[in-house]
Each structure stands twice: as structure tokens, then as C-alpha cells.
Amino acid sequence: MYKRGKAWTYVADAGRDPNTGKRRQRSKGGFSTRKAAEAAMREFLHARESGQLTEHSSATLAEYLEQWLANIEANARKTTFNGYRNDISRIVRVLGNVRLQELTPMQLESAYADMVKHGSMTGGALSPKTVYNAHSTLRRALNDAVRLGILIRNPVTAARSPKWTKPDIATWTAPQLSEFLAGIEDDPLQAAYVLIATTGMRRGEAMGLRWQDVDLDAAFVRIRQTLTTVNDELVFDTTKTNKSRRRISLDPATVASLRSHRARQAQDRLLVGDAWDDSNDLVFTNPDGTPVHPDRWTRQFKRHVKDLGLPELRGPHSLRHTWATLALEAGVHPKIVSERLGHSTIAITLDTYSHVVEGMDADAANTVADQIFKQAES
């Protein structure tokens, strides 16, 4: 164990080389404390004794991550993969030349600080949230390196990621939402706003909805695909998670809105004739049947909000948050809210809408107390 500058390094016996029979040593530095270096050495020695010692590799972090991306591409959603690729490119610009097996938590934390402060190698300073996302993707990638026996331990797990504050979720009240929907009655996509506002589905799920997945007589829709963008190109993709592939019941007002929308779309189809694009069977389209660009739709939403003088929201996706907030405030069971939203677990719902749950806490206290003390009085 020795200290070089401000960092600690360990040197340990790695056993004999199976080819030459000579003794080998393994060293690794960059630890901020002696305790951290000792812990890493103990892991190395345990791996040596248990026969799990990784073979020495000269591969750089960039080389490993390039292969990792190639390996996961076939099984990842297009939008998810694009996010991973962007995260990895930011990491590689700063640490790509470091040997994978020599990467340390201290190097990572130094790189994160550089990325947030001035981004000298990333083309400009990055937000803490952006760097946190890169940190999370790198942790996943190097967890696979541990699983594959390339690394003994994942240095990302010991590195502190940048702190960032999750922004408050902006929503409307029920009267504000009603005012918005009434104020855009002439918008050809009004039914899309209604659908999100009354079901809580995601923007991409609404834009990717097909008529074959809609049953207005039985009053439900099935979410089977999404329409999103990758580098501004339209992409049809699978749902975000398995739980996102779901059946959502519709209320009578939403059914009526969709029926009116279908009649209007039929008129558009007659006007366009053979030029109508029927290849995707989409519920919400441009006047010629082509898919609506989600980002352009968001810009149109913001113009409506501004014209109506309503509190600013980030986009149609905020109508999803509004629905969830109103549902929880109305006493709808969080499990039902979670299933309609397509969250993978109810914990995600409760964490996302913790501001509502906190308000429900006082109601719960009063409701139960009333039952207890009324019973006592009787």
C-alpha cells in the first residue's frame, strides 16, 4: 500500500503466469483513501483465492463501451438505445482512453466535476441531471463487465454522481383543464388532448395509437406501440416497459370525443383521396394521414396554453401528470392509478406523485380518527 500524491495505490500478488510460471503482480491506484484501497485489494485477493480473478486486459473504456453498445442494441428500445449512446459518448470524450481495468472512482468523480463545471472535453458544460444519466448508464455497462468476468468490481458504484434536484411536477386544476379543452375545440387533434387528460397515457402512446387498438363500443384502448423521435426522426417503437403494454378503459365523454374525431378524419380522407397515407392506421394524424411529429405537437400545445392565458406546462405529457394528480386527490387507489399510467411498480407512482400523497396523509389521519372517536362516543 502506498500513497502517490493525493491518491492511494495497492500492489498485490496475482499468482503465477500459467504460461511462464513467473510470479505476477497486480496494482491499482487512484483511491482517495487508504481504506478504499484496502477494500479494493481485499476484493482482488478474494477473487484470486476463489478462482474468479479476471485476466489482465489492455482494453480501454472506449473499446469496451463500443462493444457493450453493439451487444445490447438488438434488445433495447430505439429511444432507450439512443439515450445510452448519447450518455456513453459523453463519458468516452473524457475517459475513453483510460484502461477499463484501471478506472477508479476518483477518476470518475473528477470527470463528473469537469463535465458539470465547464465541460472542457464535452463541448460545453452539462447539467447535473445529464451527467447523472451518463453515470447511471456507465454503472449498468460496467455491471455487465463484472458479470462477464472482465472486472472484479464496478468502480462506478463507489463514485458519487452529481447532485441534482428533481423539478416539481407542474399540473393544472380540474377547472383549468376544462378551460383548456373547451378552448381548443376547433383543433383537429383536440381528441388527443382529451385522451391523455382522461387516461393518463404518455404522449408517444397517444401519437402511436392505432384504430385497430381502439374499441369504442366496449370503451377501451390497448397500448401496444409508441411514436417518438430519435435525432428528430419519427420512430415507431415498443412500449416503455412490459407494464406499459396495457388496456385502458374510457369514459363516455372520451368515447364521444374519439367518435367525433374519427368522423372528422373520414372527411379528411375523402378530401385527400388516394394521397391519404393509410400505412400506419393511426388515430391521430396530419390532414393527409401521415404521423404527427410529437415535438411539433408539443409546440402547438404550448401556443394554445399561451393564447388561453393558462399556467405554463412543459407539454401534452403534463396532462398525464394532471390526470394522475386529480385521480389520487379524488381517492382513486394508487394501484389503479399505477396500472392506468403503465408504471412498472406502484412505488414509482407513489414516488413520482409524492406531493399528492403527502396531502392525502392529513385526510387519512382525519378519516381514521373520525371513525375511532365516533365509535368511542357511541
51 phi and psi, to 5 degrees?
75, 15
191-231 residue pLDDT tens: 999 999 999 999 999 999 999 999 999 999 999 999 999 98
d(CA 103, CA 92): 12
pLDDT of residue 376: 61
In the predicted model, residues of the chain with pLDDT beneath 70 are 16-21, 50-56, 119-123, 375-378
Fold topology of 174-361: hpI Integrase; Chain A (1.10.443)
pLDDT of residue 16: 67
pTM value is 0.78
pLDDT of residue 17: 63
Ordered by start, the domain boundaries in the chain are 2-158, 174-361
Question: Dihedral through CA 43, CA 44, CA 47, CA 53, nearest 10?
Answer: 150
Q: What is the DSSP string of 304-358?
A: HHHHHTPPP-SSTHHHHHHHHHHHHHTT--HHHHHHHHT-SSHHHHHHHTHHHHH
Instruction: Tell me which CATH code domain 2-158 carries.
Output: 1.10.150.130
pLDDT of residue 125: 86
